[in-house]
């Protein structure tokens, strides 16, 4: 009897190099638990429709549970000639219980197993990433009260632009990660569909009950078209895309905090437990964790590219190329999961260097735009107001002073209608306080948003 799951038609033994080249068990062994869960559900369905006997089903379940323990306790022997995790588990089952084990593969294909196991794995991985994102949002929201009064410079082109309340920064990241959570939920919907029963590509003539298997495995439904299902890896690409976007969002945050922790900015003190030093420069405390979060984004984005190229132009239905989907999938998950694990304590523990931030807020004319808006409110056309404030900034720059320091004559000189009320919007505190539009950094708006976020995160605690 050949060891292969497909040996019958072959006269020649497989070349050793082919076995090495085609194996996937070195990486798909990670799916062992999903494979066993799906096989148990499949066996129970086979018994229910009468394709196997109840006692055979019990033997199969019992033996599969033993195999699970052996794998978990590192007592299971893996060998590349058995190709993948699915064949390993089935082979071990047959060794344990003989003919009952030889019935398990009734009405299913190996690709059925691959597709089903990966769907189960993606489903739980989506949930894991989602709960990490919630933790990260909690860490950002957790800073909001303590940092409520802190005003930071906001940037465009990395040039000082307008003043922004610190919680406005923290909630900006919460919003980005919230959209990622929505994308995860959407991806989960399409993932959580039963593939098993598509068989090789055409379905089966045996009286299987797919709805029964779907219910046992917690899938919301059954995939409609066997030809589509056996070739479909969309759900996995979607997940890797969402992971890439999360990595991009983390990378933006990491870059910002790397900058803020430099001597040049000096806005932020990173906890030493999350920094590393230099082997040659004794004084160095480097933000390596943030740099690696930024750097690992490259691999996560690369994995998405790998998968898009992998499925490009594949004819229906299953092609062995698809075996190559697992490494990029696992790697993207592991990388983003690890990055999030570190991002959470970093966000919670970093400290804003308030005196330095405050002392430099006068630089960069952060109140110029609010001054322009004050002029607009006095019925001066926006284009004119922009021009006039530009001239005022020019004067202030030439004299090395703030807009606030210009005497009233200077304001009057650019426009007769201006009076001492201009001073009500000058200075960063007043410029921030003047903000009122929905979603702006004005204190009322930010307060509302912080409350909204606290409420939202309370909800996701329960569900």
Residues that bind ligand ARG (CB under 6 A): 24, 28, 83-84, 110-111, 114, 318, 320, 322-323
Select which of 157, 205, 437, 462 is catalytic.
157
Given the complex with ligand ARG, which of 38 and 141 has the nearer CB atom? 38
Helical (H) or strand (E) element with 388:
helix 382-399
- E strand residue ranges, 121-191: 151-156, 159-165
Least Cβ distance, residue 225 to ligand ARG (angstroms)? 19
Select which of 26, 131, 278, 421 is catalytic.
278
Given the complex with ligand ARG, which of 23 and 256 has the nearer CB atom? 23
What's the CA gap between 346 and 30, in Å, rounded? 30
Least Cβ distance, residue 221 to ligand ARG (angstroms)? 24
Cα 424-153-367 angle, rounded to 5 deg: 25
- Helix-helix angle 326-349:288-311, to 10 degrees: 150
Q: Strand 351-352 relative to strand 193-194: parallel, antiparallel, unpaired?
A: unpaired
Least Cβ distance, residue 445 to ligand ARG (angstroms)? 52
What's the CA gap between 418 and 414, in Å, rounded? 8
Given the complex with ligand ARG, which of 28 and 238 has the nearer CB atom? 28
Query: CA quadruple 158, 164, 166, 169: dihedral positive or negative?
Result: negative
83 DSSP 8-state letter: -
Given the complex with ligand ARG, which of 114 and 171 has the nearer CB atom? 114
Least Cβ distance, residue 6 to ligand ARG (angstroms)? 8
Least Cβ distance, residue 118 to ligand ARG (angstroms)? 9
Q: What is the DSSP string of 413-454?
A: HH-TT--GGGGGG-SHHHHHHT--STTSS-HHHHHHHHHHHH
- Say if CB 242 and CB 184 are below 8 A apart: yes
Tell me, yes or no, if 440 is annotated catalytic: no
Token digits for 216? 């046992």
Given the complex with ligand ARG, which of 29 and 48 has the nearer CB atom? 29
| Residue 267 Ramachandran class (φ > 0 left, ψ -120 to 50 alpha, else beta) | alpha
Least Cβ distance, residue 216 to ligand ARG (angstroms)? 23
Tell me, yes or no, if 278 is annotated catalytic: yes
- Say if CB 257 and CB 177 are below 8 A apart: no
422 CB neighbour count, 10 Å cutoff: 21
Given the complex with ligand ARG, which of 256 and 325 has the nearer CB atom? 325
Given the complex with ligand ARG, which of 111 and 306 has the nearer CB atom? 111
- Say if CB 61 and CB 36 are below 8 A apart: no
Given the complex with ligand ARG, which of 110 and 415 has the nearer CB atom? 110
What's the CA gap between 89 and 68, in Å, rounded? 9
- E strand residue ranges, 73-228: 151-156, 159-165, 193-194, 221-222
- Say if CB 111 and CB 202 are below 8 A apart: no
Least Cβ distance, residue 205 to ligand ARG (angstroms)? 19
Token digits for 445? 């708006």
What's the CA gap between 273 and 350, in Å, rounded? 11
Least Cβ distance, residue 94 to ligand ARG (angstroms)? 18
Token digits for 307? 């998968």
The residue assigned the tokens 């132009």 is 313
* Non-local CB neighbours of 344 within 8 Å, separated by 6+ positions: 132, 135, 136, 139
Least Cβ distance, residue 91 to ligand ARG (angstroms)? 14
Active site residues: 157, 278
């Amino acid at each position: 009897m050949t060891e292969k799951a497909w040996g019958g038609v072959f006269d020649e033994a497989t070349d050793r190099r082919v076995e090495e080249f085609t194996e996937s068990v070195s990486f798909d062994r990670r799916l062992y638990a999903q494979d066993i869960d799906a096989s148990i559900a499949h066996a129970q369905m086979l018994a229910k429709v009468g394709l196997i006997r109840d006692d055979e089903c019990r033997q199969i379940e019992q033996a599969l549970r033993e195999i699970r323990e052996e794998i978990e306790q590192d007592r299971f022997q893996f060998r590349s000639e058995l190709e993948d995790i699915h064949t390993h588990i089935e082979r071990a089952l047959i060794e344990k219980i003989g003919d009952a084990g030889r019935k398990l593969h009734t009405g299913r294909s190996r690709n059925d197993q691959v597709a089903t196991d990966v769907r189960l794995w993606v489903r739980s991985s989506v949930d894991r990433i989602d709960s990490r994102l919630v933790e990260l949002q909690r860490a950002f929201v957790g800073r909001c009260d303590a940092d409520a009064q802190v005003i930071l410079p906001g940037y465009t082109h990395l040039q000082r632009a307008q003043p922004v309340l610190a919680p406005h920064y923290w909630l900006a990241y919460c919003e980005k990660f919230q959209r990622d959570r929505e994308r995860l939920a959407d991806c989960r919907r399409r993932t959580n569909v039963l593939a098993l029963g598509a068989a090789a590509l055409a379905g089966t003539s045996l009286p299987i009950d797919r709805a029964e298997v779907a219910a046992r495995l917690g899938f919301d439904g059954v995939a409609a078209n066997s030809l589509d299902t056996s070739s479909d890896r969309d759900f996995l690409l979607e997940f890797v895309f969402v992971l890439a976007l999360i990595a991009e969002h983390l990378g933006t945050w990491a870059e910002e905090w790397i900058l803020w922790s430099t001597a040049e900015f000096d806005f932020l003190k990173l906890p030493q437990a999350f920094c590393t030093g230099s082997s040659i420069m004794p004084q160095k405390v480097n933000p390596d964790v943030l740099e690696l979060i930024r750097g690992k984004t490259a691999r996560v984005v690369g994995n998405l590219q790998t998968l898009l190229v992998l499925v490009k132009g594949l004819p229906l239905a299953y092609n062995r190329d698809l075996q190559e989907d697992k490494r990029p999938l696992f790697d993207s998950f592991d990388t983003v999961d690890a990055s999030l694990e570190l991002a959470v304590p970093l966000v919670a523990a970093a400290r804003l260097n308030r005196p330095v931030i405050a002392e430099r807020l006068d630089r960069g004319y952060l109140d110029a735009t609010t001054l322009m808006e004050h002029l607009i409110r006095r019925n001066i056309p926006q284009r004119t107001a922009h021009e006039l404030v530009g001239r005022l900034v020019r004067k202030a720059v030439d004299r090395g002073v703030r807009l606030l320091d210009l005497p009233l004559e200077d304001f009057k000189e650019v426009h007769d209608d201006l009076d001492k009320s201009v001073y009500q919007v000058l200075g960063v505190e007043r410029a921030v306080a003047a903000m009122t539009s929905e979603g702006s950094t004005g204190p009322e708006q930010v307060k509302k948003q912080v409350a909204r976020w606290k409420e939202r995160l309370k909800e996701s605690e329960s569900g």
